[in-house]
């Protein structure tokens, strides 16, 4: 099939590359000339393991191309995917749908033959109906259907999530649209991955409900972790004990410095706002948002205790600042709360992150970027393990401690243990929920 993918951000690029690997003819379109030029040269604008090789493979096979011209991209396309950004709108917490509706209007101007217009972006309930209205109002003769096909990609594991999904959700109104979507996802259907067909509104709600629930699990275990610290329990044991219950499951029960990234913060805010607009408050979700912010601030207090009540003049090394490992994404990362608090308190902060410098330099002013964790720890008063990159999971802790001015370690991802820290020679070791 021929597919046009509008938007070459995280969702659009990963989806376009993976669809082309299914064997479809995919044209990715974007308004950013610099980005399209880089893509044509084989340069991937985001860090996602394996994406560069998969993109090169399908470009070489002639199944994947990039353009600034939407008319060119839509020529003969049986499906047109909208995969543009829907950031949180300033002031009211709503998802900003400006780019979605602009894309719909442009589609209307360029549609010739029948096509399914598929919203891949995360959008509030009712958006696909509005996309349909915009297209019909702009071009009354357009022959099309709309579909909702939310993404469930984890940054750092997006290709595997696309190729081996827990489920594919497709919201449609007609059998004709369903047939097109079934053909697009035929490689997954043949391998017995679940394809969930539903109506437009349910598909839109599934995405928000899923992310809100996962954010709730993370926030719940972080609250339990705080209580564990007060009563002497170990949150890792608690997580394992409750996670073995099949009704609960063990995923997203790892205590840490709070959730961040491109999805959970904006989607929980959007869901809360949707509830308010429909006089049906999402009180659990609203609480999750508030508690998650409190978790980040609690981490600052934990570090302050390790620094004897003052950051002023302290040398601190922070290992990892992206919101999770295997991505360069800094959006709403806990580091954006924690590191500025250190710098604002007068600390001299050095940062190590395999992929975070590109975005982090602008977002974290006043820090020194260092390539190596051992160099960063030299002469420091505190080392903070903030993002669990693999290279930080097997550090020579004895080497770290022996080169510090005051060997103190804040392990905010619970990678190590008290015994590990004690044997390495750390004077103080602080984890989360232990």
- Domain end: 171, 198, 225, which one? 198
Residues 82 and 116: their CA atoms lie apart, in Å, by 11
Q: What is the pLDDT of residue 94?
A: 85
My answer on whether 40 and 141 are in the same domain is yes
Quick one: which H or E segment has residue 276? helix 264-277
My answer on whether 180 and 272 are in the same domain is no
Calculate ∠ Cα 292-414-394, nearest 5°: 135
What value does the mean pLDDT take over residues 48-52?
Answer: 95
Whether this prediction's pTM lies above 0.85 is answered by yes
Give residue 273's pLDDT band: very low, low, confident or very high (50, 70, 90).
Answer: very high
My answer on whether 110 and 218 are in the same domain is no
28 given a catalytic annotation? no
Active-site residue among 18, 263, 280, 307? 263
CATH code assigned at 381: 3.40.50.720
My answer on whether 130 and 215 are in the same domain is no
My answer on whether 253 and 330 are in the same domain is yes
Q: Which are the contacts of 84, defined by CB distance < 8 A and separation ≥ 6?
A: 6, 7, 9, 12, 99, 100, 102, 103, 121
My answer on whether 145 and 213 are in the same domain is no
Q: What is the pLDDT of residue 216?
A: 98
Q: Is the pLDDT of residue 91 over 80?
A: no
My answer on whether 220 and 344 are in the same domain is yes
My answer on whether 59 and 138 are in the same domain is yes
- Which structural domain, as residue segments, surrounds residue 318? 199-434
- Domain end: 170, 198, 226, which one? 198
My answer on whether 173 and 279 are in the same domain is no
My answer on whether 421 and 406 are in the same domain is yes
- Domain end: 172, 198, 224, which one? 198
Number of domains present in the structure of the chain: 2
What value does the mean pLDDT take over residues 268-282?
Answer: 95
What value does the mean pLDDT take over residues 151-169?
Answer: 95
My answer on whether 399 and 271 are in the same domain is yes
pLDDT in tens, 192-243: 999 999 999 999 999 999 999 999 999 999 999 999 999 999 999 999 999 9
Distance (Å) of CA 302 to CA 235, 249, 298, 412: 16, 29, 6, 10
Give residue 271's pLDDT band: very low, low, confident or very high (50, 70, 90).
Answer: very high
My answer on whether 227 and 298 are in the same domain is yes
């Amino acid at each position: 099939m021929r597919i046009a993918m509008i938007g070459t951000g995280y969702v659009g690029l990963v989806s376009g590359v993976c669809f082309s690997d299914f064997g479809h003819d995919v044209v990715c379109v974007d308004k950013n000339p610099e980005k399209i030029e880089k893509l044509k040269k084989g340069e991937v604008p985001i860090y996602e393991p394996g994406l560069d090789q998969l993109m090169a493979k399908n470009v070489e096979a002639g199944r994947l191309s990039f353009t600034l011209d939407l008319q060119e991209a839509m020529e003969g396309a049986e499906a047109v995917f909208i995969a543009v950004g829907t950031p949180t709108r300033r002031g009211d917490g709503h998802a900003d749908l400006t780019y979605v509706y602009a894309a719909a209007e442009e589609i209307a101007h360029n549609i010739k033959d029948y096509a399914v217009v598929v919203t891949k972006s995360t959008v509030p309930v009712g958006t696909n109906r509005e996309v349909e209205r915009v297209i019909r109002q702009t071009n009354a003769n357009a022959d099309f259907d709309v579909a909702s096909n939310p993404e469930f990609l984890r940054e750092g594991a997006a290709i595997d999530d696309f190729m081996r999904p827990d489920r594919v959700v497709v919201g449609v109104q007609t059998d004709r649209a369903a047939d097109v979507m079934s053909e697009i996802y035929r490689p997954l259907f043949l391998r017995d991955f679940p394809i969930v067909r539903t109506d437009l509104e349910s598909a839109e709600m599934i995405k928000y409900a899923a992310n809100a629930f996962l954010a709730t699990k993370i926030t719940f275990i972080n609250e339990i972790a705080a209580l564990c610290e007060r009563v002497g329990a170990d949150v890792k044991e608690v997580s394992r004990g409750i996670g073995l219950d099949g009704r609960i499951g063990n995923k997203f029960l790892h205590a840490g410095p709070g959730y961040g990234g491109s999805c959970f913060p904006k989607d929980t805010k959007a869901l809360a706002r949707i509830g308010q607009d429909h006089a049906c408050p999402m009180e659990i979700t609203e609480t999750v948002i508030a508690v998650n912010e409190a978790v980040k601030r609690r981490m600052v207090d934990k570090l302050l205790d390790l620094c004897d009540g003052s950051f002023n003049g302290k040398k601190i090394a922070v290992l990892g600042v992206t919101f999770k490992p295997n991505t360069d994404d800094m959006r709403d990362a806990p580091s954006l709360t924690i590191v500025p608090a250190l710098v604002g308190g007068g600390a001299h902060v050095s940062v190590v992150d395999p992929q975070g410098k590109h975005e982090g330099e602008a977002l974290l002013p006043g820090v020194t970027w260092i390539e190596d964790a051992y160099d960063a720890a030299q002469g420091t008063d505190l080392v903070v393990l903030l993002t669990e990159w693999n290279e930080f999971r097997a550090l020579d802790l004895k080497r770290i401690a022996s080169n510090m001015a005051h060997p103190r370690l804040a392990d905010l991802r619970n990678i190590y243990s008290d015994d590990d820290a004690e044997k390495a020679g750390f004077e103080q070791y602080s984890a989360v929920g232990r």
